[in-house]
A and B are shown apart, each in its own frame.
Chain A
C-alpha cells in the first residue's frame, strides 16, 4: 500500500493516525502560525513607525 493510499485512509477515518504524526503536527502548525502572525505584526509595526508616524498629526 502506498503512502498516498494510507493517508487517504487516515483522512477518511478508516485508519488510526500514527503517534509520530500526532507528536510532530502541532509543532509544525505552531511554527507556521507563529511565523505568519509574526510577519504580520512586524509589517504592521513597520508601517506604523515608518509611514504613519512620520506623516504627522491630524485631528
Chain B
C-alpha cells in the first residue's frame, strides 16, 4: 500500500478523526466538569416583572434597592439598570460569602459584567436577571453596561465594593450601602 493510495488516505483521515474526537471530548469534559462539580453554569432565571411599574412598586421599588441581608443571612443586591445609570451606582458585598445579584430594566436591554469575575448577564425589560456568585478578593470592581443601550451607554458604570466579611455590617433594616467618599 503506497503512501498516496486511497487506503492510506482513509486510514490517515480516520486517525485524524480520532484525534479531533479526543480533543472535543477533553473540551466538553472540562466544561461539563466545571458545570457539575463547580456549579459554573450560565445564570438562568425565569422570573418576570412589570417594567412599567418597576421603580415604584414590588421588589425593585426604591426602598428595596442595594444590598440587603435577610433574616436567614442571605445577601441579596437589587439593582435597576436604566438609560444610562445603575441604581444604586455602588453596592457593597462581603468577601467569601455567597451573594445574589438581581437586576431589572424599565426601558431597554442592558447587559452587565463585573470585571475580573465570571459575573455576566443580560438584563431584559420584563424579566429579573439573577446571578449568584462568591467574590474572593476585596476591592472596588467595575461593573459596566456591556450591551449598547443608547448614546450614554459608555457612561453607564457602577461599582461593586467587596469588603472583608468583618467590615460588612448591615444596619438595623438589614441594608448595607457604600460609604460616601
The answer for the CA separation of A47 and B147 in the assembled complex, in Å, is 23
Residues 110-142 of chain B: 1 if any A CB is under 8 Å from the residue's CB, otherwise 0? 000000111110000000000111111000000
Which residue of the partner chain B has the closest CB to A17?
Answer: B4
Number of A interface residues in the complex (CB < 8 A): 20
The answer for the CA separation of A19 and B118 in the assembled complex, in Å, is 54
Chain A residues with Cβ below 8 Å from B117 are: 55-56, 58
Interchain CB contact under 8 A, A56 and B4: no
Are A59 and B23 CB-contacts (below 8 A) given A19-B4, A48-B30?
A: no
B108 to chain A, nearest CB (A): 24
Which residue of the partner chain B has the closest CB to A37?
Answer: B23
Check if B74 is an interface residue, CB within 8 A of chain A. no
Residues 38-59 of chain A: 1 if any B CB is under 8 Å from the residue's CB, otherwise 0? 0001001100100011011111
Are A58 and B4 CB-contacts (below 8 A) given A37-B19, A37-B23?
A: no
In the complex, besides A37-B19, A48-B34, 14 extra interface pairs with C-beta distance below 8 angstroms are A17-B4, A23-B3, A23-B4, A26-B4, A26-B8, A33-B16, A34-B19, A37-B20, A45-B26, A56-B135, A57-B133, A58-B117, A58-B120, A59-B40
What is the interface of chain B, defined by CB distance below 8 A to chain A? 2-4, 8-9, 12, 16, 19-20, 23, 26-27, 30, 34, 38-43, 116-120, 131-136
